[in-house]
């Protein structure tokens, strides 16, 4: 096991503890992480970029509980607003992240429901991985899945996974 794998395992454990008692949310971020990693590797992402993306995928919905407490819902924009501060709290419990990595992780969390002007590969992959999971968990209609794919997805591997998943 590499040092980065150990750091990510420790982050995963910290996030499981953070979401303790909320098995559906834990299952969600584990699946988003796995899809994000799979897409990123297929798209040629390596090293620090992959490490940061994996951490962001683990933490992407960290603002949900605070959003529900403050606003009574888990609206995506509220998650983007509140998530970065919560992510910093969780990240402070795990050694191994630089200040620059934490800032990028928090930026990704603050934009994981922003679908316009997506210019970076890590942002795009996080959106695609989250949608792959949400399309199943939220029982989305096939028409909506196709529309989202056609307007948001750009990574060949993510498009292929979505098509295979839904028989498209």
pLDDT tens per residue across span 28-44: 999 999 999 999 999 99
pLDDT tens by residue, 80-122: 999 999 999 999 999 999 999 999 999 999 999 999 999 999 9
Domain ranges of the chain: 3-166
Confidence of residue 75 (pLDDT cuts 50, 70, 90): confident
Query: Between 3.50.90.10, 1.10.3210.10, 1.10.8.620, 2.40.30.10, what CATH number should domain 3-166 receive?
Result: 1.10.3210.10
One DSSP character per residue, the chain reads: --HHHHHHHHHHHHHHHHTTT-HHHHHHHHHHHHHHHHHHHHTT--HHHHHHHHHHHHHTTTTHHHHHHHHSS--HHHHHHHHHHHHHHHHTTSS---HHHHHHHHHHHTTTT--SS--SHHHHHHHHHHHHHHHHHTT--HHHHHHHHHHH---HHHHHHHHHHHT-
């Amino acid at each position: 096991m590499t040092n980065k794998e150990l750091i990510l395992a420790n982050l995963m454990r910290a996030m499981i503890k953070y979401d303790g008692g909320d098995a559906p949310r834990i299952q969600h971020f584990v699946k988003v992480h796995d899809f994000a990693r799979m897409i990123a590797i297929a798209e040629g992402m390596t090293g620090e970029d992959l490490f940061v993306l994996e951490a962001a995928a683990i933490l992407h919905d960290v603002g949900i509980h605070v959003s529900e407490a403050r606003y009574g819902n888990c609206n995506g924009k509220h998650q983007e607003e509140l998530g970065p501060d919560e992510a910093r709290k969780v990240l402070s419990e795990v050694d191994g992240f630089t200040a620059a990595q934490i800032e990028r992780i928090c930026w990704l969390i603050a934009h994981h429901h922003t679908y316009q002007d997506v210019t970076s590969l890590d942002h795009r992959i996080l959106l695609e991985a989250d949608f792959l999971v949400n399309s199943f968990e939220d029982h989305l209609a096939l028409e909506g899945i196709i529309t989202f794919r056609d307007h948001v997805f750009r990574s060949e591997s993510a498009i292929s996974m979505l098509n295979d998943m839904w028989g498209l």
